[in-house]
A and B are shown apart, each in its own frame.
Chain A
Amino acid sequence: MSHTVLLHVGTPKTGTSHLQDVLFRNRERLAEQGVHYPAERFDGQFLAALDLMRMPWGGLETQAVGAWNALAAQVREADGLSIVSHEVLAAASASEVARALASLGHGDGTEVHLVLSVRDLARQVPAEWQENVKHRATLPYGRFLDKIRDPERRGRIPSWFWAVQEVPDILDRWGAALPPERVHVVTVPQPDAPRSLLWERFSSVMRLDGLDLDLDSERSNPSLGVPETAMLRRLNRKVNRVVEPAAYRPLVRELIAHRTLSQRTNTARLTLPPDVHPWAVELSDTWISEIRSRGYDVVGDLEEMRCGPPPKRYVDPDAPREKQVASAATTALRAVLEEHVRLLEERDRLVEERDEARWRADAALSSRVRARLEGNLAGRAAVRAYRWGRGRNSLSA
C-alpha cells in the first residue's frame, strides 16, 4: 500500500511536459529512492487520464482501455511516495474525481495530496488558442476570444478551456474531499524570473529535493510566434480532411510545430489584445481572492497569477504580416522536404538491406544444396543434367 500519493492535475501550459519527461526518464532512479512514477511509456499517464474521463483523443483513446485501473493498481501496490501527473485531469467531473481518489486509496489509509500548477490568464489564454491550433483547430483568435468570454460557454472549445483553466472550479472539483493543507497550488513565475525557479517549486512540492536526477529534458511543449501560429491555422484548413489524426501528430504537431516553427523565436509572441486584457486582469483578481481565502498551501506567490501590463505592441494573428507567414510556410516546407528525403534514403537503405539479405539467403541455400548434390553420384549426375539443360557448363555468378 502506497502511503502518499501526489496527484498533479494541471493546468496545461504550466511546464507539465518538462516535469513529466523528467519523471518518466528518471523513473527507475526515482524508484530506487522510494518515489514511484508508474508509466510504461511516456504518455502512459495521459492514456490513464483519457480512460478515467472516457475522453476520445483522435483515436489514441483506443490504446487507453483499462489504463486508469492499471495505473491505480500500481499506485496502491507501491510503498512510499507515488506521483501521478497529467494536465487533462483538470477537466475531470466531480464523479470522475471521486472515482479517481477512491481508486488511488483515498479514504483507505493513503494520504492523497493535490498539486495544481497555475499561470496568469494573460499568458494562458493565448497559449490555449495556440494549443487548439496545434490540435487541428481552424478557429481564428478573435473568434476564440469571443467564445471563451461568452457567459453561455456553449460548444466544445469554451467548455474545454474553462474545464482546464478555471482554477477555483478545478480546485472545487479536485480539492473538495481533501483538507486545504493537502492542496498545493504551484504558481508559475513571471517571464523575467530565473528559468530554474519553476522546477525548484515542482521539486519541493513533489518531494524531489535532494534526489539524484537527470534534469536534461527531451520533451517540452514549446510555444510558437504569431506568424507561425497563423500559418499553422491556415495549414489545418487545408489538411484536416486529408491527414488523419495519427499522421497529423508526428508530421504537423511534432515535425512542423514543435521541431521546426518553435525554433523561430525572433517573431512576435502571442498576447491578449489590449481590449481583452482588462477582462483577464479582473478575472484573475477574483480568482486570487478566492484561492487565498481557502487556506491552501501556495508554492510560489499568488501575486504571480496577476496579469502583467498589456503589451506595448499587439500583433494580431488574424491579420499577420503576410511576408512573415510566407517565411514560416517555407521553413515548414523545407522541414517536410528534409524529412521526405530522410525517409526516401531510409527506404532505399532498407530495400538494399532486404535485397542483400535475400541474396545471402539464396546463396547460402544454393551452396548447401550444391554441396549435398556434389556429395553423391546421383546428385552429381543431376547437376550435370541441369547444367546441360540450361545450355552452359558452369553456374552463373
Chain B
Amino acid sequence: MADPTPDPVALAHAWVAHLVDGGTTPWTDVLAAGSVPGRVLDAEADTAPLPGAQQLEVVRQLNARSAADGHGTHDPRLAAEVFAVAPPGRGALDLPLVGLPARTYGARPVDPAALPAPELLRVATGVLAERLVGELLPDEPTEPAARRVTGAVARHLPRRRAFRLAGPAVRVDGLRHRLAELGRRPGGRDATTYVVGAGMGRLVTDAWTTRVLDGAAPSWPEWLATWADRDACPRRADLAATADAWAERSGGPGRVEVLLDPGVLADLLAVRGPVRTTPAMPAAAVELLRQVSGVLGVLVDRPRRSRLLTEGLRPRLVGAAGPPLVVPAAYADWLTRRGQGLLGDLRAGGYRVHGPTDLLEHPLTDASVPGVGEPDDDRVLALALDTLADRRTP
C-alpha cells in the first residue's frame, strides 16, 4: 500500500529511476497514485537535481516505443544519453514537474505528458546531433588508381551518347546511381549536359531539401516567404542559371538540355530499364534534418555537418512514412510567375527542353497534389523518437 502522504521529491526521484529502468508510467499517474510501480520510496535516496520535464518525457516516450515493439529491447544507455544533453538553442530551460514544492519564481511547473512537441523536439534533436557527432563516417570514397587513370583518359575521348547530369543534388544523386547500375557513367569528350528539373513546385521543394542538407537553413515558411517577397526564383531551383553555367563551360547552349521528366533519360541515353528519380522525402524527415542541422552547426564544421546529415542521418530516414512537402496554394501566383519566367529564360537561352512544360507554366500546389504545405511538429517528433529508438547504423 502506498504511503498516504509521500514526499513528492522522493516520488519524483523514484519516477526518474523507473524511467531509467524502461518504465512508461506518466508522471501525473505516479503523482495521483502516490507511488511508482515496483519501487519503494526512499527520501534519502537521491539529492541530485532532477532532469527537466522535457528530458524525462522524451525518455518515457522512448521507453514506450521499446515496449511497443514487443521485443523488450530497452536500452539502459538511452536515459543517461538524454539526461546528458540540455535542450539546445533558445527555449525553455529544465522545466520543473507539476506537484513538486513550488518556488516563488521560475518557470511554471508542467505535466511532462502535456508538453508541446517543439519542446520535446529540442531535446530529441540535441541527442540525435550528439549521437551523430560521435559516429565515425566512412572515409570519402576514392576511386582505385587504375579507374582514375582510365577515367581521366575517358574524359577526353569521344563517347557515344556521352552525358553529364546537373541540378539539385537530391534529384541528381539518385539518377546518377541508377544510371551507373545500368552501366552508364557520366563523362566523355563533348558530353551533353542534362540539367535535371521537374515541375516548378517540385523544383522549389527540392531546392529547399538541398539547402537543408547543405547546412543551416531557416524554417520552410520563412524561406519560402523570403523568395516570394523578393519575387525571385530560389537559386537552387533556377534551371536556367544552371544551364547557362554549363553552357559557358561546355561550349554553348547546344551542349545543354533540360529535362523536366528525368524518365526521358532512358531514351536519350539508350539504356535498357526505367530511369526514375527517388521520391521526395516526407516533409517531417526534411524538417528533422533541418533541426538536427541547427544543432550540428555548433558542434562541427560545415563540410562535416553536411556529411553527417547526408551520410549519417538521411539514410536512417529512408522509408519514413508521411506526406511530402508541397508549396502551399497561397504561393500559387508567385510559383506560376517564377515557372513561366524560368521557361522563358530557358527558351531565350536556346536550350532544348524535354518533358511537360505545362508543369512550369501551371505549377501544382498543395491544393492539387498530395502533400502538406508545412511540416507537422507531431510527425517530426514521432520521427525523431523513432530514429533515436533505432540504433541501427545506416
Q: Name A's B-contacting residues (CB within 8 A).
A: 50-51, 53-56, 59, 61-62, 64-65, 91-96, 151-154, 156, 159-160, 162-163, 166, 168-169, 172-173, 176, 241-242, 286-287, 290
Binary contact readout B280-311 vs A (1 if CB under 8 angstroms, 0 otherwise): 00000000000000110111111000000000
Closest Cβ of chain A: how far from B233's Cβ, in Å? 15
Pairwise interchain contact B107-A153, C-beta atoms closer than 8 A: yes
Pairwise interchain contact A241-B298, C-beta atoms closer than 8 A: no
Sorted nearest first, the 10 A-B pairs with minimum C-beta distance are: A54-B88, A93-B86, A241-B226, A61-B298, A95-B86, A241-B229, A156-B90, A169-B106, A93-B93, A168-B105
Residues of B within 8 A of A93 (CB): 52, 86-87, 93-94
Residues of B within 8 A of A51 (CB): 298
Pairwise interchain contact B225-A241, C-beta atoms closer than 8 A: yes
Residues of B within 8 A of A92 (CB): 86
Residues of A within 8 A of B9 (CB): none
8 Å CB contacts to A: which residues of B198-246?
216, 222, 225-226, 229-230
Q: A54-B298, A95-B84, A242-B229 are in contact. Are A159 and B92 (CB under 8 A)?
A: yes
How long is the Cα–Cα vector from A93 to B96 in the complex, in angstroms? 12
Q: How large is the interface on B (under 10, 10 to 19, 20 to 34, 35 or more residues)?
A: 35 or more
Residues of A within 8 A of B299 (CB): 54, 65
Closest Cβ of chain B: how far from A237's Cβ, in Å? 11
Residue of B nearest to A173 (CB): B93
B253 near A: Cβ within 8 Å? no
Closest Cβ of chain B: how far from A172's Cβ, in Å? 8
Pairwise interchain contact B94-A56, C-beta atoms closer than 8 A: no
Q: A56-B216, A64-B298 are in contact. Are A166 and B89 (CB under 8 A)?
A: no
B156 near A: Cβ within 8 Å? no
B108 near A: Cβ within 8 Å? yes
B38 near A: Cβ within 8 Å? no
Residues of B within 8 A of A287 (CB): 105
How long is the Cα–Cα vector from A169 to B297 in the complex, in angstroms? 28
**Most chain-B CB neighbours within 10 Å: which of A152, A172, A241?**
A241
Q: List 13 A-B contacts (CB under 8 A).
A: A50-B298, A54-B126, A56-B216, A56-B297, A61-B298, A64-B298, A93-B86, A95-B84, A95-B94, A153-B92, A163-B93, A166-B106, A241-B229
Closest Cβ of chain A: how far from B330's Cβ, in Å? 16
How long is the Cα–Cα vector from A234 to B142 in the complex, in angstroms? 53
Pairwise interchain contact A54-B86, C-beta atoms closer than 8 A: yes
How long is the Cα–Cα vector from A169 to B86 in the complex, in angstroms? 17
Residue of B nearest to A59 (CB): B216
Pairwise interchain contact A159-B91, C-beta atoms closer than 8 A: yes
Given contacts A54-B86, A241-B230, 12 further A-B contacts (CB under 8 A): A54-B129, A55-B90, A61-B297, A62-B216, A65-B299, A93-B93, A95-B85, A159-B93, A173-B93, A242-B226, A286-B104, A287-B105
Closest Cβ of chain A: how far from B114's Cβ, in Å? 11
Residues of A within 8 A of B94 (CB): 93-95
Pairwise interchain contact B89-A55, C-beta atoms closer than 8 A: yes
Residue of A nearest to B216 (CB): A59
Q: A93-B52, A176-B49, A290-B104 are in contact. Are A159 and B298 (CB under 8 A)?
A: no
Closest Cβ of chain B: how far from A149's Cβ, in Å? 13
Pairwise interchain contact B301-A62, C-beta atoms closer than 8 A: yes
Residue of A61, A64, A96, A156 near B91 (CB, 8 A) is A156
Pairwise interchain contact A159-B104, C-beta atoms closer than 8 A: no
Residues of A within 8 A of B49 (CB): 94, 176
Residue of A91, A152, A156 near B108 (CB, 8 A) is A152
Residues of B within 8 A of A156 (CB): 90-91
Residue of A nearest to B300 (CB): A65
Residues of A within 8 A of B294 (CB): 56
Pairwise interchain contact B93-A91, C-beta atoms closer than 8 A: yes
Closest Cβ of chain B: how far from A242's Cβ, in Å? 6
Residue of A nearest to B84 (CB): A95
8 Å CB contacts to A: which residues of B9-53?
49, 51-52
Closest Cβ of chain B: how far from A291's Cβ, in Å? 10
B334 near A: Cβ within 8 Å? no
Closest Cβ of chain A: how far from B199's Cβ, in Å? 25
Residues of B within 8 A of A153 (CB): 92, 107-108
Residues of A within 8 A of B300 (CB): 65
Residues of A within 8 A of B106 (CB): 166, 168-169, 172
Residue of B nearest to A150 (CB): B108
Pairwise interchain contact B105-A290, C-beta atoms closer than 8 A: yes
Pairwise interchain contact B229-A169, C-beta atoms closer than 8 A: no
Binary contact readout B69-102 vs A (1 if CB under 8 angstroms, 0 otherwise): 0000000000000011111111111100000000
Residues of B within 8 A of A169 (CB): 105-106
Residues of B within 8 A of A64 (CB): 298
Residues of B within 8 A of A172 (CB): 106
Pairwise interchain contact B225-A65, C-beta atoms closer than 8 A: no
Q: A151-B108, A153-B107, A173-B93 are in contact. Are A55 and B86 (CB under 8 A)?
A: no
**Most chain-A CB neighbours within 10 Å: which of B89, B116, B126?**
B89
Pairwise interchain contact A166-B105, C-beta atoms closer than 8 A: yes
How long is the Cα–Cα vector from A61 to B305 in the complex, in angstroms? 13
Pairwise interchain contact B230-A242, C-beta atoms closer than 8 A: yes
Closest Cβ of chain B: how far from A94's Cβ, in Å? 5
How long is the Cα–Cα vector from A55 to B49 in the complex, in angstroms? 23
How long is the Cα–Cα vector from A64 to B300 in the complex, in angstroms? 9
Residues of A within 8 A of B226 (CB): 241-242
Residues of A within 8 A of B129 (CB): 54
Residues of B within 8 A of A168 (CB): 103, 105-106
Pairwise interchain contact A56-B93, C-beta atoms closer than 8 A: no
